[in-house]
Homo-oligomer: A and B are copies of this chain.
Amino acid sequence: MKNQTRELENGFLEFTADQDFHFDAGGSINPLVLVYETYGTLNSDKSNAIVVHHALSTSSHLASTEKNTHTGWWEEMVGPGKALDTDQYFIICINNLGSCYGSSGPVSINPKTGKAYGPDFPTVTIADMVRSQKILVDALSISKLHAVLGSSMGGMLSVTWLVLYPDHANYLITISSCSRGYPANHANRLIQSEIIRHDAGFNNGYYSDSSKLEGFKTARKHGLLTYRNWAEINERFVDKFGMDSIDNYLDYNAQKFIDRFDCNSYLRLIGSMDSYDLSERGSKDLVDVYRPIQAKVLVVSVDSDILFPPAQQLCLHQAMLNGGVDANYVAHHSTYGHDAFLVETDEFGAYIQSFIGSAKT
């Protein structure tokens, strides 16, 4: 059997494609494994599927279910009558290739060695992730998605989906994302990567315990700082000391993260954002890249986002408009910076609902 799907504990679905999956930057794996979750019911003509692309640090677990009562990363967004309305839509969220929540990645066992790939897992691009997900969506016999949507790194996947498969969705929503990484995005990732690599415990990726890597922890602290606007950080912590201090906040949250995330996966995923450039270092005009897109598009920016500032979403939106794409733009006001989509789910839910809901008119 070429492809198979089995249900794991907690309702996770594990899709295994018994094929060589070739990576853009070289290397291949076999099998390709993708773990995913679904919410709602696929209708008879398979026209109500929405793929939600998750960001760097999250998983396929969008929201709690009967089988898995853990709170999801977009808990408020998914359910009957919610923005991602499970009475209407069949929501699919797939753990990104290279991540550490079940899909093929550095923590997967390399069948050739019987050991985890570790740092020998191939370099992953955003397009690799999208191509892998397309194999799964094809296997579900869904010939056209109702929508793809994602935030941050997930937003890069959503855009890339339509660039690779221009007529494969009715709607595209991309939040706090871009057409390509900007120098400051890249520099922040470069610094995180260096922090991790200089730590003696990292041992070129052949470490024994990701949760004990001091460099990884510091890199996460660095990341956490960039996800919020510093005005918000200052306001929140300016009169807090001891347990409530910024030190303690960063220490607690960074440790919580490295307790659950694999360091080699982290490097693969930030690397995928670094290589992400739909203009291919200026060799392609973004207007031409976007011109074939048939979907109706919504681009959302957050004014306080220091990591992916509105300039990047405006550039994305303008290139789409110039390419004749039906692209809309929301400039969201928030103090929460890059994290806003995780915090202000009421507002983001309203944007999604009114945009996708516009189909019915």
Q: Which residues of A pack against B, CB within 8 Å?
A: 182-184, 186-188, 190-191, 194-195, 198-200, 214-215, 218, 221-222, 225, 230-231, 233-234, 236-241, 245-247, 250, 281-282, 306, 309, 311
- What's the Cα separation between A188 and B221 when bound, in Å? 9
Please classify the interface of chain A as helix (H, G, I), strand (E, B), loop, or mixed, using the class held by over half of its residues: helix
List residues of chain B with CB within 8 A of the CB of A231.
309, 311
Contact residues in B for A237 (Cβ distance below 8 Å): 183
CA distance A250 to B183 in the complex (A): 11
**Closest Cβ–Cβ distance, residue A227 to chain B (whole Å):** 12
A225-B306 Cα distance, complex, nearest whole Å: 12
A231 CA / B305 CA spacing, docked (Å) = 11
Is A187 a contact of B309 with CB atoms below 8 Å?
no
Contacts known (A198-B199, A214-B194, A306-B230); A221 close to B282, Cβ less than 8 A: no
Q: Which residue from B187, B218, B236, B246 sits with its C-beta under 8 Å from A195?
A: B218
| CB proximity of A53 to chain B, nearest CB, Å | 24
11 other A-B residue contacts (CB within 8 Å) besides A183-B245, A190-B250, A198-B200: A183-B236, A184-B230, A184-B246, A187-B233, A187-B246, A188-B225, A191-B221, A191-B222, A194-B214, A198-B199, A199-B199
Name the distance in Å between A278's Cβ and chain B's nearest Cβ: 14
The contact sample of 6 A-B pairs, CB cut-off 8 A, is A183-B234, A183-B237, A187-B225, A198-B199, A199-B199, A200-B200
In the bound assembly, the distance between CA atoms of A234 and B181 in angstroms comes to 10
> Which B-chain residue is minimally distant from A182 (CB atoms)?
B234
Q: What is the distance, in angstroms, from A316's C-beta to the closest C-beta of chain B?
A: 14
CB distance from A39 to the nearest CB of B (A): 36
Neighbouring B residues of A199 by C-beta, 8 Å: 198-200
Contacts of A214 in B (CB 8 A): 194, 198
Choose among B184, B194, B233, B246 the residue that contacts A233 (Cβ–Cβ < 8 A). Answer: B184
Q: Which chain B residues lie closer than 8 Å to A247 at the CB level?
A: 186-187, 190
Contact B221 A183 (CB under 8 A): no
Assembled-state Cα–Cα distance A187/B282 (Å): 36
Q: A225-B188, A306-B306 are in contact. Are A198 and B218 (CB under 8 A)?
A: yes
| Inter-subunit contact A241/B281 (CB<8 Å) | yes
Pairs of residues from A and B, 6 with the lowest C-beta to C-beta distance, nearest first: A183-B237, A200-B200, A184-B230, A183-B246, A194-B218, A198-B199
A230 CB to closest chain B CB (Å) equals 4
Query: Is there an interface contact between B311 and A187, defined as CB atoms closer than 8 Å?
Result: no
With a cutoff of 8 Å between Cβ atoms, the chain B residues found around residue A222 in the complex are 191, 222
Partner of A184, one of B190, B234, B311: B234
In the bound assembly, the distance between CA atoms of A186 and B184 in angstroms comes to 20
CA–CA, A213 and B199, complex, Å: 12
